[in-house]
Amino acid sequence: MPTALDILAVLLILANLRLLGSSRLAACIRAVALQAVILGAAALLVNLSDLDVRVVIIAVASTGLKAGALPWLLRRAIRESGAVNEIEPFIGFTASLLVGVGLLGLCFLIGSPLSAHVAAESGLLITVSLFTTATGLLVIVSRRKAVTQVLGYLAMENGIYAFGMAFAIQEPLLVEMGVLLDVFVAVFVMGITIYNISREFDHIDTDRLSALRD
């Protein structure tokens, strides 16, 4: 199913751009959750010829975790901290979109030589996985709110997951579950941290934490 995979890849790019261009935290969370759903569907599509229980379990578990549990945690963090919008990011939303297009071009340049080494149908997936990772990095460095930075981290993880999928790396089940658990614990801890930061300082703008004195 090369076309369906292409459409999923394009949807993944659009979800990335939504993450870059949206100021509403809830919309950003939905974009990252959508990425996880797309990746789950793509994981099933890539392995459609030899679908076994292991693949299905991993796809369903990671999708459920990244599209269900983690967004729920982050929504809770938003509710507790009362932050609705990302206000005055270091790189504006329109500028972020333009930087995103630049990054996409760069990823096409880097991705095409890599695509030659894998099956043709997942060629676009490599470019997109690189772009998703780059988007996550961009979001981490350009936003003030702790929630958005966690979302950037999740987007990066999604990108790495897509990269592994494109190369059809058959990691053992244990490693994949370990990575998932890591992400879960990390986001869980970050959720608690966000809650505590907002309770202490009435906001979750991380750049102002650097000016703290005791």
One-letter amino acid for residue 64 of the chain: G
Distance of closest approach, residue 14 Cβ to other proteins, in angstroms:
8
Backbone angles phi, psi at 35, to 5 degrees: -55, -45
Residue among 160, 127, 156 at smallest CA distance from 140: 156
In the complex with other proteins, the residue whose CB is nearer, 127 or 198, is: 127
Shortest distance, position 7 Cβ to other proteins, whole Å? 5
Residue 90's alpha-carbon distances to 31, 139, 143, 145, 154, in angstroms, are: 20, 10, 6, 11, 20
Residue 94 or 196: which CB sits closer to other proteins? 94
CB of 122 vs other proteins, minimal distance in Å: 13
The backbone torsions φ and ψ at residue 88, rounded to the nearest 5 degrees and listed phi first, read 45, 70
Instruction: Give min distance, CB of 135 to other proteins, in A.
Output: 13
Backbone angles phi, psi at 130, to 5 degrees: -60, -45
Closest CB to other proteins among residues 127, 148: 127
Distance CA 100, CA 117 (A): 26
13 vs 32, beta carbon nearer other proteins? 13
Q: What is the contact surface with other proteins in residues (CB under 8 A)?
A: 2-3, 6-7, 9-10, 13-14, 17, 21, 93-94, 97-98, 100-101, 104-105, 108, 112, 124, 127
- Give phi and psi for 61, each to the nearest 5: -65, -45
Q: Which is nearer to other proteins, 94 or 170 (CB)?
A: 94
**What is the closest distance, in whole angstroms, from the C-beta atom of residue 105 to other proteins in the complex?**
7
